[in-house]
């Protein structure tokens, strides 16, 4: 039984990790989350009453408070998922990305280093700092056959990906300079339940249900490798508990799709599952609208996940087709969750008496 501290555990991927650990292990989890707009405690209702789960509202930039929680909880593993992650927001306002993704990672690394140095030798040897990053740090691929590997040079394009690249470099530096036992993972595009509605797949689902335009950047030919979030959570737990110190593992879903293909697939599923359509449309794809491309938009991402498959025997359980159907069904069956996000009432959760550490 491990004690695992998860930063950003109220976010999309972080909450999936917390739910996975509580569902599939006997481990204890401490979730540290600042509860910015993307943090949603309603995504954790399934585990909120479990005695193995704790939540503290906290900014990872507050190094001394974080150190206090480390010393109180005594984790064996820190899984660092707290990050600003939306490319469009990073273009409009990069400051928050520099603060959270770079300064926050530095502050967390220093708190963890101080905590780690206090541990007995055996616990120092077994401690792990697992930094969760993105394939966007590699830039984009121009060929149709090339793949990102763990040794692909970094070439970030957006303020978001540049801030994540910087955080990756900090983690590796703390390993080489100070000996902090670290693990890194870089993943492809996630999708699935509890995804904040500003991201492509939930945005298209909810806009289609409301009869609103389905915006597609440029010509929609940008290619992404899609990874079902629960598959990602299982991979992260696998790396955190079995990965080799100092190693990087790329995590992908083996599902390359053009953005327009993703949107059209959602429309086809909704034609099947929700035949009663808004307005006077016959097919949901009639709502598709091509809009001006965003600055510096990467053309293609694709992950080579051979290393994690070979070394840790991990494989995604979902195909894109099965995962997308699960995702669309989840949004149809969980209207209360996304309606609370759309009307902003989910943010009132942080004011509840059950939140400690405010």
Three-state SS annotation for the chain: CCEEEEECCCCHHHHHHHHHHHHHCCCEEEEEECCCCCCCHHHHCCCCCCCCEEEEECCCCCHHHHHHHHHHHCCCEEEECCCCCCHHHHHHCCHHHHHHHHHHHHHHHHHHHHHHHHCCHHHHHHCEEEEEEEHHHHCCCCCCCCCECCCCCCCCCCHHHHHHHHHHHHHHHHHHHHCCCEEEEEECEEECCCCCCCCHHHHHHHHHHHCCCEEEECCCCCEEEEEEHHHHHHHHHHHHHHCCCCCEEEECCCCEEEHHHHHHHHHHHHHHHCCCCCCCCCCHHHHEEEECCCCCCCCECCECCHHHHHHHCCCCCCCHHHHHHHHHHHHHHCHHHHHHHHHCHHHHHHHCCCCECC
pLDDT of residue 357: 30
Indicate which residue of 33, 69, 135, 264 is catalytic.
Answer: 135
335 in a domain, yes or no? no
Indicate which residue of 53, 106, 115, 160 is catalytic.
Answer: 160
**In Å, how far are 171, 285, 292 from 211, measured between CA atoms?**
45, 11, 21
pLDDT at 173 over 60: yes
pLDDT in tens, 99-142: 999 999 999 999 999 999 999 999 999 999 999 999 999 998 87
Segment among 79-93, 202-216, 274-288 with least mean pLDDT: 79-93
> Any catalytic annotation for residue 160?
yes
- Return the closest-CA partner of residue 5 out of 24, 23, 44, 32: 32
215 in a domain, yes or no? no
- Return the closest-CA partner of residue 195 out of 227, 158, 162: 227
**In Å, how far are 30, 55, 66, 97, 140 from 47, measured between CA atoms?**
12, 11, 22, 29, 38
325 in a domain, yes or no? no
209 in a domain, yes or no? no
Structure tokens at 83: 């990050």
> Any catalytic annotation for residue 349?
no
Instruction: Return d(Cα 104, Cα 95) in angstroms, integer.
Output: 12
pTM, rounded to two decimals:
0.94
pLDDT of residue 142: 78
Structural domain for 315, as ranges: 3-195+228-257+300-319
pLDDT in tens, 175-218: 999 999 999 999 999 999 999 988 899 999 999 999 999 999 99
Instruction: Return d(Cα 81, Cα 132) in angstroms, integer.
Output: 6
pLDDT in tens, 21-59: 999 999 999 999 999 988 999 999 999 999 999 999 999
Look-up of token digits 């794809």:
285
Indicate which residue of 27, 69, 76, 136 is catalytic.
Answer: 136
42 in a domain, yes or no? yes
Q: Specify the number of domains making up the chain.
A: 1
**Cα dihedral across residues 303, 146, 136, 322: positive or negative:** negative
Structure tokens at 110: 């220093």
CATH at 100: 3.40.50.720
Q: Which one is predicted more confidently, 149 or 348?
A: 149
> Any catalytic annotation for residue 135?
yes
358 in a domain, yes or no? no
Q: What is the largest distance, in Å, between two alpha-carbon atoms of the chain?
A: 69
286 in a domain, yes or no? no
159 in a domain, yes or no? yes
């Amino acid at each position: 039984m491990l004690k695992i501290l998860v930063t950003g555990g109220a976010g999309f991927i972080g909450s999936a990790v917390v739910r996975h650990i509580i569902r599939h292990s006997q481990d204890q989890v401490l979730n540290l989350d600042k509860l910015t707009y993307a943090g949603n405690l309603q995504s954790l209702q399934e585990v909120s009453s479990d005695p193995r789960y704790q939540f503290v509202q906290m900014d990872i930039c507050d190094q001394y408070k974080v150190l206090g929680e480390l010393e109180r909880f005594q984790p064996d593993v820190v899984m660092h998922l707290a990050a600003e992650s939306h490319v469009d927001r990073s273009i409009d306002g990069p400051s928050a990305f520099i603060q959270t993704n770079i300064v926050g990672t530095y502050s967390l690394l220093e708190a963890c280093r101080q905590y780690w140095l206090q541990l007995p030798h055996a616990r120092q040897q077994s401690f792990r700092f697992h930094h969760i990053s993105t394939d966007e740090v590699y830039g984009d691929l121009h060929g149709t056959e090339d793949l990102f590997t763990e040794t692909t040079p970094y070439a970030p394009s957006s303020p978001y990906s540049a801030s994540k690249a910087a955080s990756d470099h900090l983690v590796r530096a703390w390993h080489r300079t100070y000996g902090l036992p670290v693990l890194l993972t870089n993943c492809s595009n996630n999708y699935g339940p509890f995804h904040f509605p500003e991201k492509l797949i939930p945005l298209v689902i909810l806009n289609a249900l409301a009869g609103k335009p389905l915006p597609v950047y440029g010509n929609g030919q940008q290619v992404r490798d899609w990874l079902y979030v629960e598959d990602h959570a299982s991979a992260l737990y696998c790396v955190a508990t079995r990965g080799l110190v100092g190693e990087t593992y790329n995590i992908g879903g083996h599902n390359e799709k053009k953005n327009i293909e993703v949107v059209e697939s959602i429309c086809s599923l909704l034609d099947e599952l929700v035949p009663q359509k808004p307005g006077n449309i016959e097919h949901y794809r009639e709502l598709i609208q091509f809009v001006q491309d965003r600055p510096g938009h990467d053309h293609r991402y694709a992950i080579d996940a051979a290393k994690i498959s070979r070394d840790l025997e991990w494989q995604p359980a979902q195909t894109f087709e099965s995962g997308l159907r699960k995702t669309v069904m989840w949004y149809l069956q969980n209207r209360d969750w996304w309606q609370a996000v759309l009307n902003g009432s989910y943010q009132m959760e942080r004011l509840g008496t059950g939140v400690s550490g405010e």
